[in-house]
């Protein structure tokens, strides 16, 4: 199952679905569970081969991932929803929303965080790098604890997942230039992706997208967590689903 409930609210008026970054898992959002009002149902989306899905094989075909997530989401779509996706998660969230809009569903908002547009990742060959080269790439992202990077046994677990996620991004090719109608927000750090590059997402949406900037590097969701969550809460409030 992709969908993992992160809070215990039984009276949500809107659901927030969070998509993790490459090499990550739903645990990236565990600390968020007490940061939202009771009107918000908080869910993490967990891809195979990690966390409680560790025994499953990774999936490197975005069409399969999107189709499976959409099927799981359908029972939840009776309530308004918002997507949040960080890095790879932004692309996966976009792919899922693209399919949902084809089926007639609209998100109240999609928040794409620290993610370049799909064509930047398409056909990239980073997943073919050696283990040492992938390890160096993880070091530069500054998101993997040093004790894991220096532990060969743990890295044997981490690197295949990271490699599979990079291949997932590389193999995602969009067949047409359909623009999505849902409202889009971009979260970014001034120390990460150049604004003019990340704002290329505007080509993927009908309405003007809103840009929000945070302090920190690529993983500003870990270093500026309170501001990120506060901004998401503001967006949720603007949907008129919560007070």
Q: Rounded distance, CA 47 to CA 125, Å? A: 21
Tell me 206's DSSP state.
S
Q: What is the pLDDT of residue 102?
A: 96
Mean pLDDT, all residues of the chain: 93
CA distance readout (Å), 20 to 26, 88, 153, 181: 6, 7, 23, 23
Q: How many C-beta atoms lie closer than 10 Å to residue 124's C-beta?
A: 13
Q: Rounded distance, CA 90 to CA 172, Å? A: 13
From 54-58, 151-155, 197-201, the region with the lowest mean pLDDT: 151-155
Q: Report the interhelical angle of 152-170 vs 62-73 (nearest 10°).
A: 90
Q: How many C-beta atoms lie closer than 10 Å to residue 8's C-beta?
A: 10
From 36-45, 61-70, 151-160, the region with the lowest mean pLDDT: 151-160
Q: What is the pLDDT of residue 145?
A: 65
In the block, tokens 């500026």 appear at 224
Q: What pLDDT digit, counting tens, does each position of 168-226 carry?
A: 999 999 988 899 999 999 999 999 999 999 999 999 999 999 999 999 989 999 999 99
Q: What is the pLDDT of residue 155?
A: 86
CB 102 within 8 A of CB 180: no
Give all strands (DSSP E) within the chain, no chain letters.
Answer: 3-5, 14-19, 40-45, 81-86, 109-113, 184-189, 210-214
User: What mean pLDDT do residues 61-73 have?
Assistant: 98
Q: What is the pLDDT of residue 242?
A: 65
Rounded to the nearest 10°, the torsion over CA 9, 10, 14, 18 is 50
List the structure tokens of 68.
């499976």
Which is more confident, 63 or 149?
63
pLDDT at 25 > cutoff 80: yes
Q: What is the pLDDT of residue 147?
A: 75
CB 71 within 8 A of CB 34: no
Q: Does domain 3-121+178-238 have CATH number 3.40.50.1820?
A: yes
Q: What is the pLDDT of residue 108?
A: 97
Q: What is the pLDDT of residue 10?
A: 74
Give the pTM.
Answer: 0.95
pLDDT at 80 > cutoff 90: yes
Q: Using DSSP, state whether 92 is helix, strand or coil.
A: helix
Q: What is the pLDDT of residue 144?
A: 72
Name the percent of the chain lying above pLDDT 70: 97
List the structure tokens of 23.
């090499």
Domain positions in the chain: 3-121+178-238
């Amino acid at each position: 199952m992709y969908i993992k409930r992160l809070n215990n609210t039984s009276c949500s008026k809107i659901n927030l679905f969070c998509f993790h970054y490459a090499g990550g898992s739903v645990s990236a959002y565990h600390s968020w569970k007490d940061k939202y009002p009771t009107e918000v149902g908080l869910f993490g989306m967990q891809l195979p081969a990690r966390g409680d899905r560790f025994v499953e094989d990774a999936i490197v075909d975005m069409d399969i991932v999107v189709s499976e997530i959409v099927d799981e989401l359908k029972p939840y779509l009776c309530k308004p929803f918002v997507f949040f996706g960080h890095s790879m998660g932004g692309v996966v969230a976009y792919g899922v929303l693209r399919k949902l809009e084809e089926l007639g569903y609209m998100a109240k908002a999609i928040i794409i965080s620290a993610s370049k547009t799909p064509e930047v990742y398409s056909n990239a060959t980073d997943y073919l790098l050696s283990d040492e080269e992938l390890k160096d790439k993880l070091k530069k992202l500054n998101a993997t604890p040093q004790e894991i990077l220096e532990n060969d046994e743990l890295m044997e677990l981490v690197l295949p997942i990271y490699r599979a996620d990079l291949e997932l991004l590389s193999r995602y090719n969009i067949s047409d230039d359909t623009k999505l109608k849902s409202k889009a927000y971009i979260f970014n750090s001034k120390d990460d992706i150049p604004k003019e590059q990340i704002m290329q997402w505007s080509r993927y949406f009908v309405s003007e997208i809103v840009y929000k900037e945070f302090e920190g590097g690529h993983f500003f969701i870990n270093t500026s967590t309170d501001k990120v969550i506060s901004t998401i809460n503001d967006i949720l409030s603007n949907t008129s689903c919560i007070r």
